[in-house]
Amino acid sequence: MDVMYVASILSIAALLTGQKEYRTGAEQQTHYLLGRNPLNICYVTGHGSNPFRNPHNRPTASDGVDEPIPGFVSGGPNQSPGDACAKAILPEGTAPMKCYVDEVPSYSTNEIAIYWNSMAVLGMAGFINETQD
């Protein structure tokens, strides 16, 4: 959410001012979400070459379908994982941006939420105008 919140602010600033530096910043934030990050994971289900696949989401985990519902944004790395799954998998001293577990039980790193998705939509909305020109 924080990454795409910053992307949203930068996208709005780019639209209001026309300054390319803001758009570049928004692009960098979006690249992080889509896989240009320390784990090379796309934090959006069903997208990119290495998307996360096991969101902490009961309907997705129990629907009997291998692929998750596309378009969910993961909570992502959490330097203070709070669930037993992440604590068991992540070694002590793991770098903060690598504190991520793509397992259903890892709610502290892999949960999905509507407000994370809404920030992703808002953050990427600034790019729509340019594609229509």
Q: What is the DSSP string of 38-51?
A: TT--BSBTT-SSSB
pLDDT in tens, 6-38: 999 999 999 899 999 999 999 999 999 999 999
Average pLDDT over residues 75-95: 95
pLDDT over 60 (residue 131): no
Task: Note the pLDDT tens digit of each residue in 88-128.
Answer: 999 999 999 999 999 999 999 999 999 889 999 888 887 77
Quickly state the pLDDT bin for 132 (edges 50, 70, 90).
Answer: very low
